[in-house]
Amino acid sequence: MTDLLQFEFMRNALWAALLCSGLCGILGTMVVVKRYVILAGGVAHAAYGGVGLALFLGFSPRLGAVGFSLALALLMAWVMLKKASRADAIIGVIWAAGMAAGIIFADLTPGYGSDLMSYLFGSILTVAREDLLLMAGLLAVTLFVGMLWSREIAAFSYDEDFARTRGVPVTLLHFVVVVLISVAVVLIIRVVGLILVIALLTIPPSVAEKYSRSLWTMMGVSCLLSAAFSLGGLALAVRFNLTAGAVIILVASAVYLVSLLLPSGGRR
């Protein structure tokens, strides 16, 4: 594998795996503890609509995916606040509609090629430098927000009502976290694809939760697990010439299964 590191695409793939792990560890933890899984799924599928729209209108698919997903993410975040009891159903509709729009746009765009396919399954081996910079930027912003508001984020995650009575800007944090998650989802789609992004966001924190006593430990352990899954999966994929995204998720799922069978350490 060290030979392969001479190639820029391989170095990029490694960086992508590591940056993704940072994002998945931190924001995936928020997805799990805040029960934002359906929102993340909605964003991932809405991104497909954005890619389709961008291809149809002839601008950058990356821009299309980010813009379209962000707009729908804000709508979904608002629905979660205002119509909490029916949020999952409404988000389900947005999820499906976004995906359907992507397919229709693809139909209307002659010769869209393999671009849309790469959004379904990801292509870590073709990650561009720009993607890496975007991921690094998002990771920096996420770390900054997390450190600045660590107390507020913990309180907001644990108990929104109580946090509100202590003056925590719960609504603002809700939107900030949703925006960070949405952009992360769109960027991670580049690596593992929209079908698998949910797994990479939720599996590491779900394993880490059992062994953590604080949100920050959970995030840290998730980052490490995520890195192990991504690098391990990538190595296996290269070695056996398989689709990297799928191998990464299978490695993660296998570890998750094992962790379910193991007694939980440290807690309970």
223 binds another protein (CB under 8 A): no
- Residue 2 makes contact with another protein by CB under 8 A: no
The total of other beta-carbon atoms located within 10 Å of residue 266's CB is: 9
Tokens of 10: 């391989």
Segment near another protein (CB under 8 A); pick from 59-67, 162-170, 178-186, 190-198:
162-170
Q: What is the C-alpha to C-alpha distance for residues 210 and 219, in angstroms, rounded to an integer?
A: 12
**Contact partners, residue 74, CB within 8 Å, separation at least 6:** 175, 178, 179
- Rounded CA-CA distance 212/214 in Å is 6
Of these, 89, 166, 254, 262, which contacts another protein (CB under 8 A)? 166
Stretch that binds another protein, among 118-126, 152-160, 190-198, 253-261 (CB under 8 A): 152-160
Quick check: 172 binds another protein (CB under 8 A)?
A: no
- Closest to another protein by CB, 111 vs 213, is 213
Nearer to another protein, 59 or 158 (CB): 158
Please report the DSSP string for 182-218 in residue order: HHHHHHHHHHH-TTTHHHHHHHHHHHHHTT-SSHHHH
Distance CA 256, CA 132 (A): 27
Torsions phi, psi of 267, nearest 5? -120, 145
Tell me which stretch binds another protein (CB under 8 A): 128-136, 148-156, 229-237, 239-247.
Answer: 148-156
83 lies in the binding site for another protein (CB under 8 A): no
Binder of another protein out of 215, 237, 249, 251 (CB under 8 A) = 215
By CB under 8 A, tell whether 85 contacts another protein.
no
Q: Which of 10, 163, 184, 252 binds another protein (CB under 8 A)?
A: 163
Task: Please give the backbone phi and psi of residue 83, each rounded to the nearest 5 degrees, phi first.
Answer: -130, 55
Of the candidate residues 147, 172, 258, 262, the single one contacting another protein (CB under 8 A): 147
Residue 105 tokens, joined: 């746009």
Binding site residues, another protein, CB under 8 A? 33, 147-148, 150-152, 154-155, 157-159, 161-168, 209, 212-215, 217-218, 266-268
